[in-house]
Amino acid sequence: MDIVEEVEIECPQCGETFPIDVETTQPRLEFIQDCVVCCRPMTLRILCEPGAVVEVNVAAA
């Protein structure tokens, strides 16, 4: 089983989308990610089950 899933996230600041890799071994992830386009930080809250990303929430940090 592939535990790393790629998901597209949309920057709340500039509206661009870009992919990130998510390790699905943890049911809940919360971390700060800098936008690759505008470099502003956002808070990601991601729900996973092993091998799949269930839900992604993005908020300006």
Given the rule CB under 5 A, which residues bind Zn ion?
Answer: 11, 13-14, 35, 37-38
Quick count: other Cβ atoms within 10 Å of Cβ 48?
21
Q: Which is nearer to Zn ion, 35 or 48 (CB)?
A: 35
Q: Which is nearer to Zn ion, 19 or 27 (CB)?
A: 19
Q: Which is nearer to Zn ion, 9 or 48 (CB)?
A: 9
Q: Please report the beta strands in 1-61, taking only residues with DSSP state E, as ranges in sequence order.
A: 4-10, 17-23, 28-34, 41-49, 52-60
| CB of residue 39 to Zn ion, shortest distance in Å | 7
